[in-house]
Structure 1
């Protein structure tokens, strides 16, 4: 039943040879890897205006030079990540760049920041999309958390079905959103050019603003930089592209950067010209669309696609998180299960981890994840800064042909991203202080995992200095609960392994002990029986004590002790709840005993 349900939701397994069919072309990759960056257009301009509104409407004209600053940073990031794509074509982005050029710990900081950021991406994006849905349908507002959780589950299942299938389904809303905003920008500029929008609706550029400080401008700039979240995703997911992977990834990055620049510039310009400001009950994009088209079907189309893109922005995380987890696991900083492909050739464990983590975050914050946005932005700008700095060191060390322009681009990018990061940390410390706790904890966790794998490797290596201890013989201990066919089956099997077989019976009273010994002599006279008395009705305590004693004695003679546990297998799974599971408890207790081998002998019921 579970298998059939899995096949229905995820689809039939794919052969390993079909991995190439799961690669993305440029158009599908643009949709699936750029949804986070493109969706930020829906709130990037608004974040700038929210800060400027603290001074007054007269300060809104500053959104134009601030937008130019954001575009300069976007250009620096696009150039930098394009260089990263060609320099590190196997993916990994900021993690690989930082690790190789700045050191392991810096790489782990970048990787850990991005892992947490992708979980935040899913939680924040889906919650924002849910708010858009419930705003249109107020009767559903009480069910925000449930709707958000269901949406995460749907996106998780789509991604478990494979990259190409999820990209095919999710590409349409992304491109509809891009089309809707381009149409809105073009029509809005046409209205401005034809004089349909009065010039008195906005404050003229250059108007003097009292009370405006450099600190407020820097805060507005930092808030506007939230429009750049998701730019790094393509560099993390290069292996998901069709060949030539690096070239296709670089082209897709430029396409994404161009679309983001056009949409962000257009929305910011229209917001300024229309004199639109932030409102508690209506977004800036909604106000622009209403001014441009009225409350027509086009307006609702724009709002609908905006809600969809906010939800689907989560899909960028589903593409980048598993690949980044794979890179960390390949370097033995995360569990190896993240290197394994699932039935549909995706890194299913990474996809499931991301889905579960974001659901827990949504539930913990009751679907109100607005307070996570600054933390989300900090999680992006830490790897931004580290990757730019790493590339600076790479160019200085290697000095390839034409390295000066590349160094300049990375230097400018590093200075700007560091500035934005510091502004976030200073101005929004009350919302981002958690980064100083969870990042060190993540780094410690990475190192402990790595140390474990290193220790395991040392102990498994054949060239170990400790020679193997020769095995002289084997003592078989069979715990028995009675005289049944299950026990008989196990005793017969034990005889084939060794001539030293000991049956052990734990009795709760002396009379039962004597009766069992007498019956055993008649039933299995050639097998030694040891009876143990338990005053507190515990099987585990006396049994493990006896096995430990036997193991210590056997060790002196280079003998091994094998505990052979009889286990009956019921025909139907639900029958198991009708029987005690003492064999499972015994096995669990003995697995960590040194010099003891635990073996189960199954006896299958026919009815």
Structure 2
């Protein structure tokens, strides 16, 4: 039943040799890997105006030079990541670059930042998409968190169905969003060009405004830079591209950069020219669309596709998070289960973990996008800075043909990214301080996991010192009564030809104990019975003490103790709730005891 439900939800399992069919072409890759970056134009420009609003509407003209600075930074990042794609075609992005060029710890900082960033990608995207929906339908505003959680669950399920299937579904909304925003930008520019929009709605360009200082401007620039999150996702997901993977990834990156620049510049300019002030419950894009087209079909189309792309932008995280987790798992910094492919050849464990962690984050921040964006942005610019610094050192060490130009591009990218990080910490310390706590904590977790795997490897490695030979075997069978399950376990024990076979019965009552001895002597006279009285009604405690005594005696003679646990299995799974599961608890307890072999002999009940 569960298997049928799983097939219905995520589809039939795929064979390993079908992996090639799960690779992305450029059209699908642009939709699924660029949706995060493209969708950020729905909230990135708004962050600039939220900061400038502190100085009044007259300060909105500063959004234009700030926007030009953001576009210049975008250009530097696109050129920088283009070089990373060619230099590291195996994928891994900032984590692999920083680890190889700067060392393990910078690599872990980059990897940890990106893991958290992709969780934030899902939370921010879905929260922003929910905001767009509730802007158009205000009655739903109080249900932001449940709506956001529902969307995360749906996207998680779609990604569990496989990469190509989720990309096929999400490609149409992504391109529809680009088309809708282009229509919005063209429509707004047409209104301005034809004089339908009064020129006095915005502040005069170039006129100094009281209260606007360097601190406010750099804070607005840092906020606007949140529109650049998602640029690095393609570098992590190169293995998902069809061959030639690196070349296709570069073309996808360039296409994403051009679209992002056009949409960001258009929305920012219209917001400035219209003189729109940000409002808590209405998004900037919603205000621009209403001003341009009124609350008609086009308005609701723009709001609908904006909400859809913001929600589906979370899919960038679902594409990049599992791939990054795979690289960390290969280096033994995260559990190995993240490197295992699921039924649909995707990294299901990473997908499920991302969905659950995103839901936790949405609940913790109550779906408030503006609370998440600063943390989101600083989390991605740290890997930006580390990866570009790593590439700078790479060109200095290797000095390939044309290395001077490559060095210059990556050096500028490193300096710009580091500057943005510093601006965030200076201008928004109360919003980004969690980075200083969770990032070191995450690195400690990484190191503990690797330490565990190294200890396991050392413990399992064959050495010149051989294990002592086993001279004999002592079998202990805990028995609760005279039943078929006990009979089956004793028959199995006899088949092992052990030196000693002992049945152990724990009783809570002296009279019951004596009665059991008599019955046992009649039923199994050839099997030694040991009865243990438990005045405190515990089964595991007296049994474990007896096993300890036998283990010490057996160990002296190089004998091994084996505990055979009789276990009946009900025909229906829910029947297990009607039984005390003492056999399971005993098995779990003994499993962690050194030099004891534990085995369970199941007896399946007929009905």
**TM-score of Structure 1 vs Structure 2, range by shorter chain:** over 0.9
> Does the CA contact (< 8 Å) of 2:388 and 2:410 recur in 1?
yes
Aligned pairs for 1:215-234 within 5 A: 215-234=215-234
Aligned pairs for 1:366-381 within 5 A: 366-381=366-381
Q: Distance between the aligned counterparts of 1:353 and 1:477, measured in 2?
A: 41
Larger CA deviation: 15-24 vs 128-137? 128-137
Q: Distance between the aligned counterparts of 1:283 and 1:572, measured in 2?
A: 53
Q: Report what 2:577 is aligned to.
A: 577
Q: Report what 1:207 is aligned to.
A: 207
Larger CA deviation: 427-436 vs 338-347? 427-436
Q: Distance between the aligned counterparts of 2:388 and 2:437, measured in 1?
A: 24
Q: 1:7 to 1:21 in 2, by over 3 A?
A: same
Aligned pairs for 1:31-50 within 5 A: 31-50=31-50
Aligned pairs for 1:221-370 within 5 A: 221-370=221-370
Q: Deviations over 1:344-390 (max 9, x none)?
A: 00000000000011111222233234312111111111111111111
Q: Distance between the aligned counterparts of 1:413 and 1:70, measured in 2?
A: 13
Cα root mean square deviation, aligned: 1.4
Q: Distance between the aligned counterparts of 1:389 and 1:24, measured in 2?
A: 30
Aligned pairs for 1:147-226 within 5 A: 147-226=147-226
Aligned pairs for 1:131-146 within 5 A: 131-146=131-146
> Does the CA contact (< 8 Å) of 2:136 and 2:303 recur in 1?
no
Q: Report what 1:30 is aligned to.
A: 30
> Does the CA contact (< 8 Å) of 2:99 and 2:107 recur in 1?
yes
Q: Distance between the aligned counterparts of 1:513 and 1:320, measured in 2?
A: 63
Q: Distance between the aligned counterparts of 2:189 and 2:142, measured in 1?
A: 39
User: What secondary structure sits across from 2:603 in the alignment?
Assistant: strand
Q: Distance between the aligned counterparts of 2:290 and 2:581, measured in 1?
A: 66
> Does the CA contact (< 8 Å) of 1:66 and 1:220 recur in 2?
yes
Deviation of 1:586 (Å): 0.8
Q: Deviations over 1:301-320 (max 9, x none)?
A: 11111111111111111111
Q: Distance between the aligned counterparts of 2:10 and 2:520, measured in 1?
A: 54
Deviation of 1:259 (Å): 0.3
Deviation of 1:241 (Å): 0.8
Larger CA deviation: 567-576 vs 450-459? 567-576
Deviation of 1:178 (Å): 0.2
Q: Tell me, which stretches of 5 or more residues in structure 2 are unaligned?
A: none
Q: Deviations over 1:112-137 (max 9, x none)?
A: 11111111111121122112222322
> Does the CA contact (< 8 Å) of 2:131 and 2:283 recur in 1?
no
Deviation of 1:579 (Å): 2.2
Deviation of 1:92 (Å): 1.0
Deviation of 1:90 (Å): 1.3
Q: Distance between the aligned counterparts of 2:232 and 2:302, measured in 1?
A: 27
Q: Report what 2:604 is aligned to.
A: 604
Q: Report what 2:472 is aligned to.
A: 473
Deviation of 1:57 (Å): 2.3
Larger CA deviation: 294-303 vs 548-557? 294-303
Q: Report what 1:507 is aligned to.
A: 507
Q: Deviations over 1:407-441 (max 9, x none)?
A: 11111111111111111111111111111111111
User: What secondary structure sits across from 1:53 in the alignment?
Assistant: helix
User: What secondary structure sits across from 2:91 in the alignment?
Assistant: coil
Q: Deviations over 1:281-315 (max 9, x none)?
A: 43222232233223331122111111111111111
Deviation of 1:51 (Å): 1.6
Q: Report what 2:492 is aligned to.
A: 493
Aligned pairs for 1:536-547 within 5 A: 536-547=536-547
Q: Deviations over 1:89-118 (max 9, x none)?
A: 111111111111111111111111111111
Aligned pairs for 1:416-431 within 5 A: 416-431=416-431
> Does the CA contact (< 8 Å) of 2:564 and 2:598 recur in 1?
yes
> Does the CA contact (< 8 Å) of 2:489 and 2:565 recur in 1?
yes
Deviation of 1:527 (Å): 1.2
Q: Distance between the aligned counterparts of 1:191 and 1:221, measured in 2?
A: 28
Q: Report what 2:65 is aligned to.
A: 65
Q: Report what 1:103 is aligned to.
A: 103
> Does the CA contact (< 8 Å) of 2:132 and 2:282 recur in 1?
no
Q: Report what 2:553 is aligned to.
A: 553
Q: Distance between the aligned counterparts of 1:523 and 1:257, measured in 2?
A: 82
User: What secondary structure sits across from 2:14 in the alignment?
Assistant: coil
User: What secondary structure sits across from 1:385 in the alignment?
Assistant: helix
Q: Distance between the aligned counterparts of 1:65 and 1:568, measured in 2?
A: 75
Q: Distance between the aligned counterparts of 2:454 and 2:4, measured in 1?
A: 40
Q: Distance between the aligned counterparts of 1:140 and 1:10, measured in 2?
A: 30
Q: Report what 1:484 is aligned to.
A: 483
User: What secondary structure sits across from 1:54 in the alignment?
Assistant: helix
User: What secondary structure sits across from 1:594 in the alignment?
Assistant: coil
Q: Distance between the aligned counterparts of 2:63 and 2:131, measured in 1?
A: 26
Q: Distance between the aligned counterparts of 2:63 and 2:585, measured in 1?
A: 67
Q: Deviations over 1:231-251 (max 9, x none)?
A: 111101111111111111111
Aligned pairs for 1:14-25 within 5 A: 14-25=14-25
User: What secondary structure sits across from 1:374 in the alignment?
Assistant: helix
Aligned pairs for 1:379-390 within 5 A: 379-390=379-390
Q: Distance between the aligned counterparts of 2:203 and 2:432, measured in 1?
A: 34
Larger CA deviation: 560-569 vs 137-146? 137-146
Q: Deviations over 1:197-223 (max 9, x none)?
A: 343333343223333211111111111
Deviation of 1:155 (Å): 0.4
TM-score, L = length of structure 1: 0.97
Corresponding residue pairs, total: 606
> Does the CA contact (< 8 Å) of 2:113 and 2:439 recur in 1?
yes
Q: Distance between the aligned counterparts of 1:493 and 1:200, measured in 2?
A: 93
> Does the CA contact (< 8 Å) of 1:362 and 1:369 recur in 2?
no
